[in-house]
């Protein structure tokens, strides 16, 4: 399987818009923290390209995921607390027909390794998801993250309560 990560380029933004931000209710938003209700569809690529969201994708803490040469998703990292060296990572594969094919496993494994290498002072990387996304929970465990916390019934979505799930891996546990 051919998975590549690289920084987004401005020339990727139209494809990214078509893939993830041109639809009113894309499938990927149903598992990516839908309870925050932050997703916004953009009516055209120009408005997406000029948005703050596009700037986020072009930042150094986000990379594009390519599968067989095609843009299929993104990986990201962010500081939960830079002062205490607490960083979290995340991933989105936009097309649901590409889920459960190992793409996310390979992409996130590469990203975690790159993040540990790029930030030698970090001893721990975290990943937060919710119990409504069992595939992400399984992915975290599969690549070596341990469940570190379950905050019960704090994510309310469509009439049900879900748990916030915290996973983490230490540098000493990571297999480079």
Residue spans of the domains in the chain: they are 3-173
Q: In angstroms, rounded to a whole number, what is the distance separating the alpha carbons of residues 61 and 40?
A: 21
Residue 44: exposure state from Cβ atoms within 10 A (0-12, 13-18, ≥19): exposed
Q: What global pTM score does this model have?
A: 0.95
Sequence-separated (6 or more) residues with CB below 8 Å from residue 51: 42
Q: Which two tokens stand for residue 160?
A: 């049900």
Contact 101, 107 (CB under 8 A): no
Q: What is the pLDDT of residues 140-165, one digit of tens each?
A: 999 999 999 999 999 999 999 999 99
User: What fold does the segment set 3-173 form as a domain?
Assistant: Aminopeptidase (3.40.630)
Q: What is the pLDDT of residues 32-63, one digit of tens each?
A: 988 888 899 999 999 999 999 999 999 999 99
The helix or strand, by DSSP H or E, that contains position 77, with its residue range, turns out to be strand 70-81
- Name the pairing type of β-strands 124-130 and 86-93: parallel
125: how many CB neighbours lie within 10 A of its CB? 22
């Amino acid at each position: 399987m051919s998975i590549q990560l690289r920084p987004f380029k401005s020339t990727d933004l139209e494809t990214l818009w078509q893939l993830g931000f041109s639809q009113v209710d894309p499938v990927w938003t149903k598992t990516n923290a839908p309870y925050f209700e932050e997703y916004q569809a953009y009516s055209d690529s120009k408005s997406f390209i000029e948005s703050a969201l596009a700037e986020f994708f072009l930042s150094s803490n986000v990379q594009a995921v390519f599968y067989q040469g095609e843009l299929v998703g993104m990986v990201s990292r962010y500081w939960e607390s830079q002062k205490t060296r607490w960083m979290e990572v995340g991933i989105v594969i936009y097309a649901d027909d590409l889920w459960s094919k190992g793409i996310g496993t390979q992409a996130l494994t590469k990203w975690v390794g790159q993040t540990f290498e790029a930030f030698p002072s970090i001893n721990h990387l975290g990943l937060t998801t919710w119990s409504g996304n069992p595939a992400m929970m399984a992915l975290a465990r599969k690549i070596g993250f341990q469940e570190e916390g379950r905050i019960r019934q704090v994510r309310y979505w469509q009439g049900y309560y879900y748990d916030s799930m915290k996973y983490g891996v230490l540098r000493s546990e990571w297999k480079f």
